[in-house]
Amino acid sequence: MADKTYKLNFTLSDGTTQSVQFTAPQGEKGATGATGAAGTSVAVSNVSESTADGGSNVVKFSDGKTLTVKNGSKGSTGAKGDTGATGAQGVGITNITITEV
């Protein structure tokens, strides 16, 4: 590994600054550690959902542990939108004839 050079800046009590530069030698890479133990898998066993403002959703896992996620609060009502364009004029019926078939 390559050595690393650092620069330290100091501000002294009289307001002046000084800097010191030094090179730190880097050691060799250490040996790889032992492999960790295998993890335990879990699955989601139940989800309780809340639709209430400020309520909480609870996720239950197969190992019996739970995770609670609080619902956010409702946001404020937005500004009223502009009125949409007028739709096309419909066609009226002026005469209906009913005949027996």
Is there a domain that residue 66 lies in? yes
What's the total number of domains in the chain? 1
- Residues 6-36 have pLDDT tens digits of 888 877 778 888 888 888 888 888 999 999 9
- Give the Cα separation of 24 and 1 in Å (integer): 11
Q: Does residue 77 lie in a domain region?
A: no
User: In this predicted structure, what is the pLDDT of residue 17?
Assistant: 81
CA dist 27 and 3 (Å) reads 9
User: Does the residue 56 lie in any domain?
Assistant: yes
pLDDT at 87: 82
Domain with 20, as residue range(s), is 4-28+41-70
| 70 SS3 class | strand
List, in order, residues 6 or more apart from 81 with CB less than 8 Å away: none
The reply to whether 58 falls in a domain is: yes
Q: What is the pLDDT of residues 40-60, one digit of tens each?
A: 899 999 999 887 777 889 999
In a domain, 85, yes or no: no
